[in-house]
Copies of this chain bind each other. A is one copy, B any other.
């Protein structure tokens, strides 16, 4: 008689190979051991993704796994932290089979390698609901150097990595596939936007750069407008953003040119997983150059100013634009 449970076998088969750190104890103990790097603080983040809420249940399982890890990696990057590892709590409906799990574990393992963020432990459970992937990720920074939301000062420039709004437009396209023609998108533009929703590209490559230069930072997960408002509130300031300077991909530009109102979901819709940072003006150039050396483009979109209202997003007519809903929220 085997005295291994089906759950033990599932863990050993699919997740054991991902647990490469000695402190993970091969996932064969109740808990993992993490020896903190000397002189460092730990940076801790937990974020879950839920089927039909954060991803489509028929998304490829490897992309679901990657998204679950990457939304957490994105926070570590914005805080200037290097990944140390993660814990996984995976709740699975009964219909999930071996093929799904193998693909999920494959995607998770590939990202754990790529981002040097190994699986340390976790648990698997049944759920009568959708697949739910809860990850707690850990990183390290030299003591006292985590980049907070609260350090922005009046006069700082506001920068963002990459392009903004792709994922929000990609989600709209998922829901209304026929919009692609109306927005003037060719097949590759359509696929670009959808893929930006499906698979975030977190900016861990420049975590050290953010830590060296940014006075405040956060990742953009709930929309640029709402997340900038959070950063400003935490810093006791406000901001003004020049909408024309917000970097858009070719696909997002085409969509907005065809339907001007799409600028609102682009700036408020979320799932960008880019970094929003404030930087002292005299450091701006060096910040951009350092990020560029890692292949990451930074764009200066506006300024931190004194005040405490919501940040102003200014259009081409120099008039502030009002958003119906400045930030994505589930509640």
Q: Chain B residue with minimal CB distance to A216?
A: B29
A25 partner residues in chain B, CB cutoff 8 A: 148, 150
**Chain A interface helix/strand/loop/mixed:** mixed
How far, in angstroms, from A125 to B76 measured CA to CA in the complex? 20
- Please give, as numbers and ranges, the residues of chain B lying within 8 Å of A54 by CB-CB distance: 125
Tell which of B36, B51, B87, B218 touches A45, judged by Cβ atoms closer than 8 Å.
B87
In the complex, the answer to whether A5 meets B146 with C-beta atoms within 8 Å is no
Contact assessment for B218 and A30 in the assembled complex, using a CB-CB cutoff below 8 Å: yes
> Residues 123-156 of chain A: 1 if any B CB is under 8 Å from the residue's CB, otherwise 0?
1111111101010101100010010111000000
Residues of B within 8 A of A122 (CB): 46
> Which of A169-177, A198-206, A323-331 forms contacts with chain B?
A323-331
A3 and B78: CB pair below 8 A? no
Stretch at the interface among A6-14, A157-165, A240-248, A287-295: A6-14
- The residue in chain B whose Cβ has the minimal distance to the Cβ of A42 is B34
CB neighbours of A149 from chain B (8 A) = 28-30
Q: A5-B222, A53-B128 are in contact. Are A76 and B44 (CB under 8 A)?
A: no
Contacts of A49 in B (CB 8 A): 125
A91 contacts partner chain B, Cβ-Cβ < 8 Å: yes
Tell me, in angstroms, the Cα distance from A30 to B280 when the chains sit together.
Answer: 21
A143's partner among B8, B35, B40 (CB-CB below 8 A) is B35
Q: Given A87-B136, A127-B132, A129-B130, decide whether A33 and B41 contact each other with a Cβ distance below 8 A.
A: yes
Q: Interface residue tally of chain A, by bracket?
A: 35 or more
Would you call A266 an interface residue if the criterion is a C-beta within 8 Å of the partner chain's C-beta atoms? no
Q: Is the CB of B34 within 8 A of A44?
A: yes
Interface centre among A40, A53, A331 (most CB of B within 10 A): A331
Q: Which residues of chain B come closer than 8 Å to A331, judged between CB atoms? A: 5-7, 10, 124, 126
B48 touches A134 (CB 8 A): yes
Q: Report the 6 A-B pairs with minimum CB-CB distance, sorted nearest first.
A: A129-B129, A136-B136, A134-B134, A46-B87, A5-B329, A6-B331
Pull 15 A–B residue pairs with CB atoms less than 8 Å apart, ordered by A.
Answer: A3-B326, A29-B79, A29-B148, A29-B149, A31-B43, A32-B45, A33-B41, A33-B146, A48-B134, A50-B127, A53-B127, A89-B89, A89-B134, A127-B130, A129-B132
